[in-house]
Amino acid sequence: MPMNIQIVSALITFLLLIVSFLIFMFYYVKLKGHLLADNNVLSMRSGFEYHDQFIGILFSKPEKFAIYKPSAKQLIAKYKFTFKLSMILFILCLVQFVFTLNGI
């Protein structure tokens, strides 16, 4: 019986991971639209030119990058939070998977 509970909890954690990742991607696109709104034609191709800056915003201080706008402060906080949440759920998913395989 405990094995069934472990599998169910691992599946629920995996479902939460998927939802948190989708929310993270939503904030990524929303942030990209906000920060690159000055471009006349915002296309996927032009957005990839700034991909390194979005990764930099995620892992360091946003003020260091040319595309940063102070009006996006709250959106950047949500972007960073959902990324951290996704990573925590990913690690939790891996731990649960290993424990389920070992029968612990």
Contact yes or no for 75/58 (Cβ under 8 A) = no
Instruction: Give the C-alpha separation, 42 to 21, whole Å.
Output: 23
Q: How many domains does the chain have?
A: 1
User: What is the per-residue burial (b if ≥16 Cβ within 10 Å, else e) of 61-78?
Assistant: ebeebebbeeebeebbee
The answer to pTM > 0.85 is no
The domain in which residue 12 lies consists of 2-102
Per-residue pLDDT tens over the stretch 3-54: 678 888 888 999 999 999 999 999 998 998 888 876 554 555 555 677 788 8
Per-residue pLDDT tens over the stretch 68-82: 888 999 999 999 999
No. of helices (H) and no. of strands (E), the chain: 4, 0
